[in-house]
Structure 1
Amino acid sequence: MDKWEMYMEIQQLLKQGFSKTKIAEKLGVSRTTVHRRLKKSPSEMSDWIESLETRKKLLDPHKELILSWLRQHPDMSAAQVLDWLQEKYGDFEIGESTVRSYVKGLREEYKIEKVTLPRSYEAIPDPSMGEQLQVDFGHTKQDTIDNKEVKLSFIAFVMSHSRYKYTEWLDRPFTTQDVIKAHENAFNWFGGMTNEIVYDQDSLMVVSENGGDLILTKEFQYYRESRGINLRVCRKADPESKGRIENVVGFVKKNFAKHRVFHHIDSWNEQNWQWLNRTGNYKIHNTIKKRPAEVFLLEKQHLKPVSTEINISNNYDTSISRHVHKDNTIRYQSNRYSLPLGTFNKREKVCVKETEDKQLIVYIPETGEIIAKHSIPDGKGLLIKDRKHSRDRNKGVDAFIETVALKFEDKELAYQYINKVREKYPRYIKDQLQIILRDTKETSSGLLAKALEECVKRRLYSATDFSDIVAYLKRQRPLHDTTEDKEIKPVNHSGWVLETEAYKRKLDTYTELLEGDY
Structure 2
Amino acid sequence: MKRFMKYAEIRQLHAEGFSINSIAKKLNMSRNTVKDYMGMAPEEFEDFLISLRHRSKKLDPFRDPILHWLQEHPDLTGAQVHDWLEERMSFRGATENTVRNYVNELREMYHIPKKIQHRNYSATPESFPGQQGQVDFGQTVVKKKTGGHKRLYFIAFVLSHSRYKYVEWLDRPFRTADVVRCHENAFAYYEGMPAEMVYDQDALLAVSENAGDLILTAEFTKYQTARGFKVYLCRKSDPESKGKIEQVVKFVKYNFSKNRVFDQLATWNEACLAWLKRTGNRKVHHNIKKRPFEVHALEKQHLQKVSTTYLFEHHLSSSIPRTIHKDNVIRYLQNRYSVPSGTYREQASNKAYLQIIEGRTLLIRLKPTGPVLATHPLSEKKGIVISDPRHRVKSESKRSLLIHELSDAFSNKAGIQWFIEALTEKYPRHLIDQLKVIQQTIRAHPNSIEAALKDIQKLQLISGNDFRDMAYSLDRQVQLSSSPDVSLNPKYMEWKAPERSSDTYLNVLKGGRGS
TM more than 0.5: yes
Give CA deviations for 1:300-359 in whole Å, capped at 9, x if unaligned.
11100000332122285434657799x9x9775688844699xx8xx986657999xx99
CA distance in 1, matches of 2:461, 2:211: 5
* 1:207–1:350 Cα contact (<8 Å) kept: no
Which aligned pairs between 1:227-376 and structure 2 lie closer than 5 A?
227-314=227-314, 316-319=316-319, 332=330, 337-338=341-342, 365-366=368-369, 368=371
1:430 has 2:463 as partner:
yes
CA distance in 2, matches of 1:48, 1:180: 61
**3-state SS of 1:169 partner:** strand
Counterpart residue number, 1:390: 400
Which aligned pairs between 1:365-514 and structure 2 lie closer than 5 A?
365-366=368-369, 368=371, 384=394, 386-390=396-400, 392=403, 393-395=416-418, 407-408=443-444, 430-433=463-466
Indicate how the Cα distance of structure 1 residues 170 and 37 shifts in structure 2: closer, same or farther if over 3 A, else same: same
1:119 deviates by: 0.8
CA distance in 1, matches of 2:152, 2:362: 36
Which aligned pairs between 1:112-191 and structure 2 lie closer than 5 A?
112-191=112-191
Indicate how the Cα distance of structure 1 residues 324 and 366 shifts in structure 2: closer, same or farther if over 3 A, else same: same
Indicate how the Cα distance of structure 1 residues 396 and 176 shifts in structure 2: closer, same or farther if over 3 A, else same: closer
1:128 deviates by: 1.3
**3-state SS of 2:98 partner:** helix
**3-state SS of 2:184 partner:** helix
Indicate how the Cα distance of structure 1 residues 123 and 388 shifts in structure 2: closer, same or farther if over 3 A, else same: same
CA distance in 2, matches of 1:390, 1:432: 20
Indicate how the Cα distance of structure 1 residues 195 and 146 shifts in structure 2: closer, same or farther if over 3 A, else same: same
Structure 2 unaligned runs (5+)? Answer: 331-335, 375-385, 404-415, 424-434, 476-515
1:168 deviates by: 1.1
1:396 deviates by: 5.3
Question: Relative to structure 2, which stretch is displaced further, 61-70 or 313-322?
Answer: 313-322
* 1:201–1:236 Cα contact (<8 Å) kept: yes
Query: Which amino acid in the other structure matches residue 75 of structure 1?
Result: D
Structure 1 unaligned runs (5+)? Answer: 450-518
CA distance in 2, matches of 1:168, 1:80: 20
Indicate how the Cα distance of structure 1 residues 164 and 212 shifts in structure 2: closer, same or farther if over 3 A, else same: farther
Give CA deviations for 1:158-202 in whole Å, capped at 9, x if unaligned.
001111000111223322222211111111000110111111223
Counterpart residue number, 1:67: 67
1:379 deviates by: 13
Indicate how the Cα distance of structure 1 residues 191 and 22 shifts in structure 2: closer, same or farther if over 3 A, else same: closer
Give CA deviations for 1:451-482 in whole Å, capped at 9, x if unaligned.
xxxxxxxxxxxxxxxxxxxxxxxxxxxxxxxx
Structure whose CA Rg is larger: 2
* 2:71–2:112 Cα contact (<8 Å) kept: yes
Query: Which amino acid in the other structure matches residue 97 of structure 2?
Result: S
1:250 deviates by: 1.2
1:104 has 2:104 as partner:
yes
**3-state SS of 1:313 partner:** helix
1:38 deviates by: 1.2
1:134 deviates by: 0.9
* 1:133–1:157 Cα contact (<8 Å) kept: yes
Give CA deviations for 1:210-260 in whole Å, capped at 9, x if unaligned.
367644333322222222232222223533212211211111111111111
Query: Which amino acid in the other structure matches residue 35 of structure 1?
Result: K
1:114 deviates by: 0.7
CA distance in 1, matches of 2:355, 2:189: 40
Give CA deviations for 1:78-100 in whole Å, capped at 9, x if unaligned.
00000000112335231111111
Question: Relative to structure 2, which stretch is displaced further, 389-398 or 132-141?
Answer: 389-398
Query: Which amino acid in the other structure matches residue 390 of structure 1?
Result: S
CA RMSD of aligned residues (A): 4.6
1:43 deviates by: 3.6
Query: Which amino acid in the other structure matches residue 118 of structure 1?
Result: H
* 2:438–2:468 Cα contact (<8 Å) kept: no
1:90 has 2:123 as partner:
no
Counterpart residue number, 1:500: none
CA distance in 2, matches of 1:174, 1:90: 34
Indicate how the Cα distance of structure 1 residues 227 and 112 shifts in structure 2: closer, same or farther if over 3 A, else same: same
1:281 deviates by: 0.4
CA distance in 2, matches of 1:159, 1:35: 46
Query: Which amino acid in the other structure matches residue 264 of structure 2?
Result: H
CA distance in 2, matches of 1:216, 1:224: 9
Query: Which amino acid in the other structure matches residue 387 of structure 1?
Result: S
CA distance in 2, matches of 1:354, 1:369: 12
CA distance in 2, matches of 1:370, 1:50: 77
**3-state SS of 1:244 partner:** helix
**3-state SS of 1:389 partner:** helix
Counterpart residue number, 2:380: none
CA distance in 2, matches of 1:237, 1:44: 55
1:137 deviates by: 1.4
CA distance in 1, matches of 2:22, 2:366: 73
Give CA deviations for 1:258-304 in whole Å, capped at 9, x if unaligned.
11112222221111111101100010111222111111112111100
* 2:158–2:164 Cα contact (<8 Å) kept: yes
Percent of paired sites with the same residue = 43
Indicate how the Cα distance of structure 1 residues 93 and 431 shifts in structure 2: closer, same or farther if over 3 A, else same: farther
Indicate how the Cα distance of structure 1 residues 431 and 339 shifts in structure 2: closer, same or farther if over 3 A, else same: farther
Question: Relative to structure 2, which stretch is displaced further, 200-209 or 185-194?
Answer: 200-209
Question: Relative to structure 2, which stretch is displaced further, 332-341 or 149-158?
Answer: 332-341
Number of matched pairs: 424
User: What TM-score do you get using the length of structure 1 for normalisation?
Assistant: 0.69
Indicate how the Cα distance of structure 1 residues 308 and 72 shifts in structure 2: closer, same or farther if over 3 A, else same: same
* 1:132–1:196 Cα contact (<8 Å) kept: yes
User: What TM-score do you get using the length of structure 2 for normalisation?
Assistant: 0.69
* 2:351–2:366 Cα contact (<8 Å) kept: no
